[in-house]
Every structure is written in structure tokens, then in C-alpha cells.
Amino acid sequence: MNRTMIILVAATLFVVGIVYLYYRNTTNVSTETVEIGYRGYAAINRLLAAQRFLESFGEKVEARRNLRAMRSLPAPGDTLFLLRHSDKLTLNKVNAVLRWVDNGGRLVIGPESDRKKRKQAVHSLLSRFGITQVEAPKAGMKKIAYFGQSQPLAIKFDSKIRFRYRGYKQIDKTGDRHGILLLRLRYGRGSVIAISDPSVFYNKRIAEADHAALLNALTLPRRSSTYWFLYSNSFPGFFELVYDQLWPALIALAMLILSWITASLQRFGPILPSETASRRSLLEHIAASGRLLWRHRQEQHLIAATRARLHQRIEAVYPSWAGSSNETLIDNLSATTGIARSKISLALEAGCRHSEQDFTQLIHLLERLRKAL
């Protein structure tokens, strides 16, 4: 290793050492925990922890986005957690839920999430059970003896909503002077449990106080049924909306496209190529012109044209015959071609022939003379 290389390596190590010392003296390395929220499915489904809690008991749990995403309501005897719902439900959907509860379904329902300040809901599911919701201060931590439980449960109610009930099938309720916090009632062969603050079952809060114990108490007595969680009240996504509402139109469009493809396919064998118009030969044009002239008794033009070709041939082959008399020309042609003098005289001097046979013989004789030269 030469001297220059040693100097370069030493300089590089020196610079690296200076940078390291500067970084070490000016930079403080610390560890800090930052909450970034839930990821994946847990960020979408606020009730995922509640679902996993019931699954730990061996229960069958299903989750859907909202009522719109369910093709049909659960079977009688199942439990439906409708903790976030709208007061804009269609009348058909409200009546369907009522029939399901009346037939033995168990409904756990929360307040209407988009009620705002309207005095009258559009199609309120709560009002059909005799329940109305009102604004009230936060209840905070409450000790509630839930419906026959020996030990009271500590529940932190953060919602500013209370219920009021004017029905006649009440089983039990708990609340404060501002209204009802938790209500259970019978409806037909089924039951309804209304909770004013469903956020106690959300992922972030179910581990607080006795919230998980309250969820466990709501599902008692256990039976071989399915627990359905509807975890969102948001407007469905594009593909979900298409699947739920536009499938008849998509089927019709698919049938239309299939009909168009079927109509465009080749049927009864391959398509025959179109016939291209071929050009007529020169002889066909000449024959047509001759027939036209003969039809209009203009055969003298045909005879004159044939004789002119004969004279052109004579001038090209025997230029010395040019300017001689017809008699001399007839003698020379007869001597050269061997054709009788009378036939040559007929070919050069005969007038028009009105019969097709005579005309054909005359033209044939003129052509025979021209080709014999």
C-alpha cells in the first residue's frame, strides 16, 4: 500500500470519527410510546373486542356493517346488537325488526345516532317500543344492580342521552333523576334491552370498570343461538351498495351484453365473402360495341375499320404497292396470298351485307388477307 492510499484511509477515518462524536454529543436518543389507534379490522369494527369476549365462552358470533348489509334478519332466538342505528330506517325494515322480536328475537338496542334536534323521528324503531330519547348531563360512574344480579356493576356512562318509557311491558330498568340508563322489556315472545350509552362495549372502553361483566349479563341466559353485532351506522361503500341495491340492474345489463355477443357471433357457418365485381375483358367490350352497331344497322363502320387495318398491313409490308390502282392491288394480293382474285375483289369492293352470314364471311375474308401478308 503506497503512501497516498494510507493518507486517504486515515483522512476518511478521521472524518467518520468527527461525525460520530458530533452526533453522540448533540443527539439524545429516547423511547416514547405513541398511541396510533387500532389497525386493520379493529379500526373498522368498534365491537370487535366484544365479539372476541363472547367467543371466548364458545358462543357463535357474526358481524355485519349495518341492517342494510344483512340479506335477512337472524333466526328467532338469536340476539341482535343494534347499538348504532339511524332514525331514517325504512318502514319495511322497522316492521321487519318488530316481527323478528315478536317471534322470539332478542334485541339489544342503543340510541338513534343521528337524531339531532328533530322532535319527531322519521321511522323511529325506539318509538315503536314506546321508548323516547332525551338530552341530559353525563351520568358518569354508576353502580347498577342489573336485573337480579347479586353484586352491583360499576358502569361509566359517558353519553348525554337518557330514555323515557311509556309502554306497559316493562321488566326492569335502572337510571337516575334525568331518565333511564338501562331498560329491559318484553315484546311478544322476544325481549328488548335498551342501553343509553353503547360505547361501553366499544374496543376502547370494554376493559374499563365492569363493562365486560355487563355484556356478559346482557347475554344471559345463554342458549344455543348466534349473537349478531352491527358495528357501523355509516353509509355503505360503493361495492356494498351495488351488491345490495343494484344487482337486478347488473343482471339485466349482463343479459343485454350476452344477447349482443350472441347476436354478433357467426351463425349457420362462416360468413361468405362478398363477391367482387371482376373487370370485363377487352374482347367483351369489342363484341358489345359490334352488337350495338349491328343492331342499329351501322355495319359499314365495322367493315371500313377492318379494311383500314388491311391497308395498314399492306403499307407496312409492301410499301411499293401504295398508290397503285385497285386492279393492280388485287393482282398483287392474289399472287402473294394465293386467294382467288374474285374473292379479293369482293373483300375490297363489296358493299354492306345485311345478313349476319354474309357479314361474317366478309369480315373473315378481310382478316384472312391481312394475316396472309
Phi then psi for 77, rounded to 5 degrees?
A: 100, -20
Q: What is the pLDDT of residues 121-173, one digit of tens each?
A: 456 788 888 888 888 888 888 887 776 667 888 888 888 888 888 876 767 88
HSE-CB for 223 with a 13 A CA cutoff: 10
pLDDT at 243: 58
153, three cell numbers: 356493576
What per-residue confidence (pLDDT) applies to 244?
57
Q: What is the pLDDT of residue 117?
A: 47
pLDDT at 336: 80
Asked if omega into 221 is within 30° of 0 (cis), the reply is yes
pLDDT in tens, 249-291: 888 888 988 888 887 776 666 666 776 666 667 667 777 777 7
Residue 371's pLDDT is: 80
**Strands (E) located in the chain:** 60-64, 79-82, 106-109, 131-135, 140-144, 153-157, 161-165, 170-176, 179-187, 190-195, 226-230
pTM for this structure? 0.54
Provide CB contacts within 8 A for 258, sequence distance 6+. Answer: none
- pLDDT for the residue numbered 88: 63
Contacts with 319 (C-beta within 8 Å, 6 or more apart), sequence order: none
Contacts of 96 (CB under 8 A, 6+ apart): 73
Q: Which residues of 167-178 are buried (b: 16+ CB within 10 A; e: fewer)?
A: eeeeeebbbeeb
Query: Quick one: which of 83, 62, 78 has its CA closest to 214?
Result: 83
Q: What are the start and end residues of each CATH 3.40.50 domain in the chain?
A: 41-243
- For residue 233, the model assigns a pLDDT of 62
Residues of the chain with pLDDT under 50: 117-121
At the second CATH level, the architecture of 41-243 is 3-Layer(aba) Sandwich (3.40)
DSSP string, 226-291: EEEEE---SPPPHHHHHHHHSHHHHHHHHHHHHHHHHHHS--SSSPPPPPPPPPPPHHHHHHHHHH
Give kind and range of the element (H or E) at residue 293. Answer: helix 282-295
* Contact assessment for residue 109 and residue 85, using Cβ atoms and an 8 Å cutoff: yes
Task: Report CA 145 to chain centroid distance, whole Å.
Answer: 55
Backbone angles phi, psi at 228, to 5 degrees: -105, 125
Are the CB atoms for 327 and 349 separated by under 8 Å?
Answer: no
DSSP structural state of residue 9:
H
Other CB atoms within 10 Å distance of the CB of residue 203: 20
User: What residues contact 214, with CB distance under 8 A and at least 6 apart?
Assistant: 146, 153, 155, 200
pLDDT above 90 covers what percent of the chain?
0
What mean pLDDT is reported for the chain?
79
pLDDT at 245: 63
Report the DSSP beta bridge partners of residue 157: 140
Give me the count of residues in the chain: 373
